[in-house]
Amino acid sequence: MGEAERKGRKSRTGCVVMAAGSGVRFGGGKLLARFRGESLYRRTLALLPGQALDAVAVVSGEPEILAAAEALGFLPVRNDRP
């Protein structure tokens, strides 16, 4: 039993998607790259069990990624320094 349960509180679970890297080893723009017709960041966001999490934050410097995160009800967090 976790500490939250011992104190009578519901356990909370969140997720942080770190999508702010510059993709240097990949050659740049890895998260915007397409795989099987879909960008890697969209594939990642679609696989998140958002309804099962209390909060999801998506950290990125790409406006496209932040807009998609917000459209899905996730918290967009801008990082201008990958």
Give the containing element (helix H, strand E) for 70: helix 63-71
Pick the CATH number of 10-78 from 3.90.550.10, 3.40.50.150, 3.40.50.2000, 3.40.50.410: 3.90.550.10
Residue 6 has pLDDT above 70, yes or no: no
Confidence (pLDDT) at 7: 67
What pLDDT, on a 0 to 100 scale, did the predictor assign at position 2? Answer: 58
Please report which confidence band the pLDDT of residue 80 belongs to, taking 50, 70 and 90 as the band edges. confident
Task: Report the alpha-carbon distance of residue 37 to residue 18 in Å, rounded.
Answer: 22
At 3, the pLDDT band (50, 70, 90 cuts) reads low
Summarised one tens digit per residue, pLDDT across range 34-48 is 999 999 999 999 999
Pairing mode, strands 75-78 and 14-18: unpaired
Alpha helices, DSSP H, located in 3-51? 3-6, 40-47
- The rounded distance, in Å, linking the Cα atoms of 52 and 15 is 10
Would you kindly state where each structural domain of the chain is located, as residue ranges?
Answer: 10-78
